[in-house]
Amino acid sequence: MGTDSQLEAEERAFLERLRRGDEEACRRLVREQGPRLYRTALRLLADEHEARDAVQDAFLQAFEALDRFEARARLSTWLYRILVNAALARLRRRRHREDSIDDLLPQFGEDGRLLEMPAPWTLQPEALAERSELRRIVRKAIESLPDKHREVLLLRDIEQLSTRETAEILGVTENAVKIRLHRARQALRTLLEPIFGEPKR
Amino acid sequence: MNCRTIVDSLMEYLDGSLSADQRKAFETHLKICAPCLRYLESYRRTVEIEEALRRCEEKEGSFPLELFQMILSARRSRS
């Protein structure tokens, strides 16, 4: 028996124990997967309490849905997906935004020229490590983006998922992910310019 | 290429997915267009700021023991 199929057999046996409600197997699942899921929830929600709630929701949802889990995916991947969806649902409840992103995108003249000269950005990203208020400002700017752009930006840039994984989780095409990510970054750029750019004279 | 097409293809330029010809046209425009160059730099900086945010926050969260216990006791009370 090869290592891969050995692992699969172990995971199947573990899954069986979970399905039977074996306490030790449940403890092991939370112990092994909890820290990673919690870090993801913190990255997506940027709030300790909400991150805890999202992780708890995700585990309880997973325990209830174990019978429906098809062993085609890894258990860890399946749990991760449940957590991401739980976190995204919380984000939408927290601040539901459907407004247009157009006002935050650059403006062009009829000849296709940029109408405004962007400011040079003098404040370095390293400043975030020393100044917590800067981190709050960046988080607030991300939070103010319309839902569909914010979600893509969080999954691609903060959670660092691939275009494909992001598309699968959100149920949209890879092309939609690319377009939304580009617009979300442009909008974030506009929102951060007054902070990171030199003041306009 | 004009500013609009430059800005539209910025992300592809930065992730290296433009063809050699497109890349050359892109860089030719940047040499003569200060607004586009500034835009590119601040766009790139925005992505760096996101990365810095991620790195800073990564240090802030370790898995709380009480969360571990809460999850397990909530499961027991439901089953």
Instruction: Look at residue A142 in the predicted model and tell me its pLDDT.
Output: 95
Instruction: Look at residue B62 in the predicted model and tell me its pLDDT.
Output: 79
Q: In B, which residues are within 8 Å of A51 by CB distance?
A: 61
B14 CB near a chain A CB, below 8 Å? no
Q: According to DSSP H, which parts of chain A are helical?
A: 3-19, 23-45, 48-65, 75-94, 127-130, 132-143, 147-153, 163-170, 174-196
Q: In B, which residues are within 8 Å of A197 by CB distance?
A: 42
DSSP letters for A20-36: TT-HHHHHHHHHHHHHH
The CB density around residue A121, as the number of other CB atoms within 10 Å, is 23
Q: What is the pTM for the complete model shown?
A: 0.89
Residue B23 pLDDT more than 90?
yes
**Separation between Cα atoms, residue A154 and residue A159, nearest integer Å:** 6
Q: In B, which residues are within 8 Å of A23 by CB distance?
A: 72, 76
Choose the closest CB to A60 out of B62, B68, B74: B74
Contact A147, A181 (CB under 8 A): no
Of A88-92, B14-18, B21-25, B54-58, the least confident: B54-58
- The ipTM estimated for the assembled molecules is 0.91
| Most B-contacting residue of A19, A26, A27, A30 (CB-CB within 10 A), to test interface | A30
pLDDT in tens for each of the 201 residues of chain A? 556 788 788 888 999 999 999 999 999 999 999 999 999 999 999 889 999 999 999 999 999 998 888 766 788 999 999 999 999 999 988 877 777 899 999 999 999 999 999 999 999 999 999 999 999 999 999 999 999 999 999 999 999 999 999 999 999 999 999 999 999 999 999 999 999 999 865
**Separation between Cα atoms, residue A78 and residue A86, nearest integer Å:** 12
The partner residues of A108 in beta bridges, in order of sequence, read: A114
Using alpha carbons only, give the angle A118, A101, B35 rounded to the nearest 5 degrees.
15
Q: What is the DSSP letter of A197?
A: B
Q: What is the pLDDT of residues B35-45, one digit of tens each?
A: 999 999 999 99
Choose the closest CB to B75 out of A63, A106, A160: A63
Instruction: Look at residue A201 in the predicted model and tell me its pLDDT.
Output: 59
Cβ neighbors of A32 (< 8 A, separation 6 or more) are: none
Contact A50, A101 (CB under 8 A): no
Choose the closest CB to A118 out of B42, B58, B63: B42
**Separation between Cα atoms, residue B15 and residue B18, nearest integer Å:** 8
- Cβ contact, residue pair B57, A135, below 8 Å: yes
DSSP letters for B30-69: HHH-HHHHHHHHHHHHHHHHHHHHHHHHHTT----HHHHH
- Cβ contact, residue pair B43, A186, below 8 Å: yes
Q: In A, which residues are within 8 Å of B41 by CB distance?
A: 120-121
Instruction: Look at residue A2 in the predicted model and tell me its pLDDT.
Output: 58
Chain A: residue whose CA lies nearest to B13: A182
B11 CB near a chain A CB, below 8 Å? yes
- Return phi, psi of residue B60, to 5°: -85, -15
Interface of B with A in 19-78 (CB under 8 A): 33-36, 38-39, 41-43, 45-58, 60-64, 67-68, 70-72, 74-76, 78
Q: What is the widest separation between alpha-carbon atoms in chain B?
A: 68
Arithmetic mean of pLDDT, B21-28: 96
**Separation between Cα atoms, residue A120 and residue A118, nearest integer Å:** 7
Instruction: Look at residue A74 in the predicted model and tell me its pLDDT.
Output: 85
